[in-house]
Amino acid sequence: MSRLRQNELKQMNPSELQQKAAELRKELMKLNAQIASGTTPKSPGHVRIIKKNIARIMQYLHGGKTNT
């Protein structure tokens, strides 16, 4: 999973963005469950990327300022 770029967000409609956010939340829950059970995930930095992608999507959906 890589960082979502602004031009990728612009190309998606709001329903696609909400669906993508839901997918990312599910993935984040799985990783958090692994961490809670004591297992280390394959890529610990992946959690951070997922959280930031969710934040970017939410900011874009709610009309927050984005860098242009």
66 within some domain: no
33 within some domain: yes
C-alpha 31/C-alpha 33 separation (Å) is 5
CATH code, domain with 23: 1.10.287.310
| Predicted pLDDT of residue 66 | 56
Total domains in the chain come to 1
Task: Note down the domain range covering 49.
Answer: 6-61
DSSP, collapsed to helix, strand or coil, labels residue 36 as helix
| Predicted pLDDT of residue 41 | 83
| Predicted pLDDT of residue 4 | 86
| Predicted pLDDT of residue 64 | 67
| Predicted pLDDT of residue 37 | 94
16 within some domain: yes
Q: What is the pLDDT of residues 16-67, one digit of tens each?
A: 999 999 999 999 999 999 999 999 888 889 999 999 999 999 999 998 655 5
19 within some domain: yes
Contact 14, 61 (CB under 8 A): yes
Contact 1, 11 (CB under 8 A): no
